Every structure is written in structure tokens, then in C-alpha cells.
Amino acid sequence: MSVRPVFRCQFCSERPDPATQAELESQQQDMLFGQYVDVEPGRWLVWHGHGPLGPRRYACGAHRGELTAYLRFHYASVGPQVWKMGPYPRPERVAGNACAARMSRMGGSGFAAG
């Protein structure tokens, strides 16, 4: 049985077009903390919060400003990352992120007992 993640705008519940959906899915393995990322071609904005900066949040092209305002209101005193100004390119992928993400979800250290 195949599973497909469902992304929705936090403010209007709009779903992304297929090309934007594919790009959002490819970001699922990225190990980012406190970063905004632009997602093209639908002009979506993703907030990779985690920990004290809250969960990952999504906004469609029409609600990008609302997302940044929301985050700045709620997390301004927690970290300076929320004040970063755009554009927000996707950071270069680092080899091993997918393995690190999988190991952290499994609760392992990633080192084999030997």
C-alpha cells in the first residue's frame, strides 16, 4: 500500500499543485532547524522549526506573509531565525541526511554495536 503525505496551507487549507507537491515531498528528509524555505513552482513557504521553534509549517503563495507574521509573533523571543528576510533558497543537501533522519526517528545512534 502506497502512502502519500498531504500538505495543506496553515491558513486556507489549500493543497499544492502536483509539481509543488513533489518538491514538498523531497524536503521531508532535509534536516533543517529554524529555516524558511521557498518551494517552487507554487510559491509555497515552509518553516522548518523543530524543538522550541515549533513544528514544520506550510503556507501557500497567497499566505506567505501571514506565516512569517505568525512565526514572528509567537517565536520572536526564542530565536533570531524567524526574522530572516527572503529570498529563502533551499540549502544544499548534505550526504547522510536521510540516514540521520531515519536513525533519529528510530531512536538509534547510527553506530553499529561491535
Q: Taking residues 34-39, what's their average pLDDT?
A: 93
In a domain, 6, yes or no: no
- What is the total count of domains within the chain? 1
In a domain, 81, yes or no: yes
In a domain, 3, yes or no: no
Which pLDDT belongs to residue 3?
Answer: 84
In a domain, 113, yes or no: no
- pLDDT bin (cut points 50, 70, 90) of residue 56 is very high
Which pLDDT belongs to residue 91?
Answer: 79
Give the mean pLDDT of the chain.
Answer: 85
Whether the Cβ atoms of residue 9 and residue 21 lie closer than 8 Å to each other: no
Q: Taking residues 59-71, what's their average pLDDT?
A: 96
In a domain, 50, yes or no: yes
Query: Residue 98 in 3-state DSSP?
Result: helix
Domain range holding 44? 18-104
In a domain, 88, yes or no: yes
pTM: 0.78
DSSP, residue by residue, 3-68: -------TTT-PPPPHHHHHHHHHGGG---SSEEEEETTTTEEEEE--GGG-S-EEE-GGGHHHHH
In a domain, 76, yes or no: yes
Please provide residue 29's backbone torsions phi and psi, each rounded to the nearest 5 degrees. Answer: -90, -5
The 10s digit of each residue's pLDDT in 70-110 is 999 999 999 898 999 888 888 776 665 555 555 555 555 55
In a domain, 94, yes or no: yes
